Amino acid sequence: DVKVTQSSRYLVKRTGEKVFLECVQDMDHENMFWYRQDPGLGLRLIYFSYDVKMKEKGDIPEGYSVSREKKERFSLILESASTNQTSMYLCASSPYNEQFFGPGTRLTVL
Amino acid sequence: KNEVEQSPQNLTAQEGEFITINCSYSVGISALHWLQQHPGGGIVSLFMLSSGKKKHGRLIATINIQEKHSSLHITASHPRDSAVYICAVKKGGATNKLIFGTGTLLAVQP
């Protein structure tokens, strides 16, 4: 079975802190994605990566950056967390068509 | 207007009822996904369709490419079917990105 893991299920941070969310997949997938999920808005793509060190902006990249130094790991970075970044963050990996999701990290920024 | 629209947004059913959730999209696609998310849980893929119909247990998914419409049916619904059901489409072309509907919250009462 494909396994996508995220570093934390719940995280509480303060405004202005730098936040790292980690995602690891064990199936050698080339494509990895970071989404945020908010009530009434569904899943929105923040960034995705189609290979090591390759990244592309999604629909809402502002306030976020990403890092993919190794194929299995895709990190989402909030350089200076703000309260409007309180959300559920979901990572996914994909060989091509189907996407496999991690359990999500619920981030609260106070 | 969203490129992927789901209806209804909320649905309450009695155990045993036949349930239909609809998804309409406005772009050319190469595949359509139905996903399930239980409260507090991660997202799992139920179906990936590019034409016709697929069945898995009590779940049936259909797609009409000409009408740009898909339906997810649940037969003999059960309280454990209570979840958010999400429709997502993969546009045609080389991109591996998905566009998501906002989800349908289903509650099946015993």
pLDDT score at B2:
83
With a CB cutoff of 8 Å and minimum separation 6, the contacts of B55 are B61
Does B95 score more than 90 pLDDT? Answer: no
- The C-alpha atoms of residue B12 and residue B61 are separated, in whole angstroms, by 20
Q: Do A96 and B96 touch (CB under 8 A)?
A: yes
Q: What is the pLDDT of residue A96?
A: 77
**Interface residue B90 vs chain A (CB under 8 A):** yes
Interatomic CA distance for residues A24 and A22, integer angstroms: 7
- Which residue among A50, A94, A103 sits closest to B42, beta carbon to beta carbon? A103
Nearest to B102 among A40, A100, A102 (CB): A40
The verdict on a CB contact (< 8 Å) between B96 and A50 is yes
Does B16 contact chain A (CB < 8 Å)? no
Q: Are B42 and A104 within 8 A, CB to CB?
A: yes
Residue A39, pLDDT score? 87
Q: What integer pLDDT is reported at residue B42 of this predicted model?
A: 85
Q: Find residue B56's DSSP bridge partners.
A: B59
Q: Provide Rg for chain A, Cα atoms.
A: 13
Q: Give the full edge-to-edge strand order of the sheet including A4-6.
A: A4-6, A19-25, A73-78, A64-70
- The predicted-structure confidence for B5-60, as pLDDT tens digits, reads as follows 999 999 999 999 999 999 999 988 989 999 999 887 789 999 999 999 999 999 99
Question: What is the model's pLDDT at position B62?
Answer: 98
| Region A58-83 average pLDDT | 96
Task: Name the pLDDT band for A82 (thresholds 50, 70, 90).
Answer: very high
Query: Could you tell me the pLDDT band of residue B94, with boundaries at 50, 70 and 90?
Result: low
| pLDDT score, position B91 | 83
Number of residues assigned to chain A? 110
Each residue's pLDDT tens digit, A32-67: 999 999 988 889 999 999 999 899 999 999 999 999
Inter-chain CB proximity B102 and A97 less than 8 Å: no
